[in-house]
Structure formats: C-alpha cells, structure tokens
Structure 1
Amino acid sequence: MDYAAVGATHAPDLMQYPPEHSIPAEESWRIGSGEERFQIAGEALLSWTAQRAAGLSLQDVRPAAGPAYAGVTFDEEGTPIAPSTRDVEQRFDAEGTPFVGPGMTIRLDGRVGGMRADAELRVISVTEERRHIGFVLGTVGDSVVSGEESFDLQWREDTDEVWFTVRAFDAPVGLLYRVLPALVKRRRRELFARYLRAISPLYATPL
C-alpha cells in the first residue's frame, strides 16, 4: 500500500478525523428493500460493476498468492481483527474476471469527469455475511491520489431496507491535485454518483 492508515474507512470518526493530509467523503443511499434486492446488489458489487459502470477498465487482475489469505477484517468500531485463515472459494463473472477477493491486486484505467482515474489497487478485506456485503479497496501506486474506498451493502433487520454506503479518503498526489484540492472533491463526487447508478439505477433515494 502507498498509505499508512490501512482500514481507516471503517473508523467511526473518519469524517471528523481523517488520515493526515487526506480529504474524507461518505455517502449513503437507500436502494430498495428485501433479500432479493440485497442479493442482486451484492452480486453486482462483488463483480466490479461499480468500477466498470464508472467508466473504468479493469486490467491485470491478480488474485492473492495462496488460498489461505483472507485479508484484514474490522469490528463494528473499526478496530482491525486478525486475518482469517479460512479458504475462500474463487468466483468468476460471465467474462471470466474473478470476483472481488481479499488480497487481490487490480489495475484500473480511465477518466472520471475529464480527470484521470488510473491506479493500481489492492483489496484489503471482503465481507460476505447474511445482511452485510462489502469490501475495502486501497491504492498501491500510480494514482493522482493516495487512499482508500470502502463499499458496503446493509440489509437492515429492523426496517428490511437495503442501504449502499461508500466511504473514502483521498490524499492528493498529482501536482494539479495538490495545488487545487477542490479537484479531489469534484473527482470523488463524480465517482460516488457513478457507483450509485451502477448498483441501483432505479431505486436510489439520497439519505
């Protein structure tokens, strides 16, 4: 990773106390209700639909070496938990691209709102539970920003609603972004909007 605060997107106080020199962002949307909606959205999320629909191209997808690696996980307060040693079954989409997997490294290429979005990224953790599906993606290098994104789907037991939450922090790396931090926020807003359209093109309701 090219940043120190690995896993910080799961910190409860991310928006108040982001990693040094970084700009935090968070959005949540209600995207429907019920188990079927949750499962369909989860399948889309773990098959890289959000990234592809954002106009980004997946290149050089490299699963983690060894079947035992399961990535870092976090408790409800955002505290890291020791990595699991269980084997994780690898799945593939219709084009043969591996689903999101812990420890996987990928290359994304493309532009968002006219701004460069190329980067090498690593999947830090993956969550697949009965009511919670998500993963954390962090930069490894060759990006205009350094930082992390977390993608989470929650099927709430009390209301039956399905919510999609994306959290991120970006530290400017490229010269233009260091000089004009507002571009970092603009780039992030555009990414969030595209992620939402990808996971829920019909049912989005802002929080």
Structure 2
Amino acid sequence: MTGRALLDSEAAKLRGAPFTYSEVGLTRAVELPGGYGVVRRSRVAGFGAERFEDAAQTLLSWNMHRRAGLTVRPSDAPVVEGSVAIVRVGASRFGLDAPVRVVYVIDESHRKGFAYGTLPGHPERGEEAFVVELRDNGAVAFTITAFSRPATLLARLGGPVTRVIQSRVTNRYLKAV
C-alpha cells in the first residue's frame, strides 16, 4: 500500500501545523514524559553491516510502514527532518488518517532512524521513534520508543481496544524491518 505522495499544498499545511503535544523530541530521553502510555520494544533484526544498511533503508524510505500494511503519503523519501506524512491505518472508508511530522533524524555510522510527532487530525497525541543500530557484536537491533495518549473522542472511547491496535501495529513494524 504505497499511497500517492503529498501535494505541495498538503505538505505545506502539515508543516505549518502545531504538534498536538508539548514534549517534542523526548523519545530521545531515558525517561519518557508522564501521563502517556509508553512503548519500548526492541528485537534483533539480523546480523552484519549489510543487514544494518538494508534495515536502515527500509526504515528511512517509509517501507517499514508499508510492509506493516499501512498506506503512507509522505512529503519526502527518504525521510528528512521536517518531513510530513499522512499514515493511513485501515482500508477504504473505515481507515483513519494519522498526520505526522518528523521531529529528528539519526544518521550515525552505526545508528539510523527517526522520530515523528502527531499533528492535528491524528487520533493520538505523542511521539514515536524508530531506530536501527549495528552493535559491536554485529547484531542489528531495531527499537521502537513511543509515548501517546488519545487525542480524539473515538480514540478515548476505544480505550483498551485502541491499545491493542497500537500493539499490533508495533508488532507489524518490528516484523517489517
């Protein structure tokens, strides 16, 4: 599910929109902000420099999202700081659009990834970071760190169901890389 790229006017509107939370960039912190549901998940995604580069490419090209079954309409591919996207969860008229903006990009020799934050119209408020790392032992670790809480009435009413959906999407991300 590729989705067409955002039009320049759509991207400009999203770039000008405020984040829906105030703790921008805090997925980098050891301690995540209070008052949110927190996700910290990691898995070994293979071994070696070639696997690391492949995982980083999958992540930074938005293909992790696509392989997880989501539709992505990005402003930029590969991901750069300030990129915006509409990530669509679900199909056709029953799907939900989730607008996001990239908060930071990690581009180090042994660590690559990015974090995005929620924009108005996203069913949640918060931030999610996706990082691949080539460890000294050759293992390629993929880590997802997120904090979020419901932003819409529908998400609040979903309660535990919303968290189950988020957990399933996170599992699909982990498998996609």
TM-score range, shorter chain: 0.7 to 0.9
Aligned 8 A contact 1:127 1:133 in 2:
yes
TM-score, structure 2 normalization = 0.81
Using the TM superposition, give the Cα deviation of residue 137 of structure 1 relative to its aligned residue in structure 2, in angstroms. Answer: 0.9
For structure 2, which runs of at least 5 residues remain unmatched after alignment? 1-18
2:28 counterpart residue number: 10
Task: Provide closer, same or farther for how the CA distance between residues 190 and 116 of structure 1 changes in structure 2, counting only shifts above 3 A.
Answer: farther
Is structure 2 residue 166 aligned with structure 1 residue 188? Answer: yes
Equivalent residue runs for 1:59-70 within 5 Å: 59=73, 61-63=74-76
Aligned length: 157
Residue by residue, what CA displacement relative to the aligned partner does 1:140-189 show, whole Å, maximum 9, x if unpaired? 121211111100111112x2111000011111122233234312321221
Matched residue SS, 2:21: coil
Match of 2:83 among 81, 88, 104: 104
Shift of 1:133: 0.5
**Richer in helix (by share):** 2
* 1:176 lines up with 2:168 in the alignment: no
Q: CA deviation at 1:62?
A: 2.8
In 2, distance between residues paired with 1:122 and 1:104? 6
CA–CA distance in structure 1, aligned partners of residues 71 and 150 of structure 2: 22
Which residue identity does 2:175 align to in structure 1?
Answer: R
In the TM superposition, residue 134 of structure 1 has moved relative to its aligned partner by 0.7
Rounded to whole Å, the distance in 2 between the matches of 1:107 and 1:153 is: 23
Alignment-derived partner of residue 123 in structure 2:
144
Q: CA–CA distance in 1 between the matches of 2:161 and 2:120?
A: 19
| Residues 1:185 and 1:179: Cα distance change in structure 2 (over 3 Å) | same
C-alpha RMSD of the superposition: 1.8
Measured against aligned partners, the alpha-carbon deviations of 1:79-128 in whole angstroms (never above 9, x if no partner) come to xxxxxxxxxxxxxxxxxxx211111111122329xx85421110111111
Q: Which amino acid aligns with 1:62?
A: S
Aligned-residue sequence identity (percent) comes to 33
Q: Distance in 1 between matches of 2:63 and 2:107?
A: 17
CA distance in 2, matches of 1:163, 1:183: 29
Q: Which residue of 2 aligns with 1:53?
A: 67
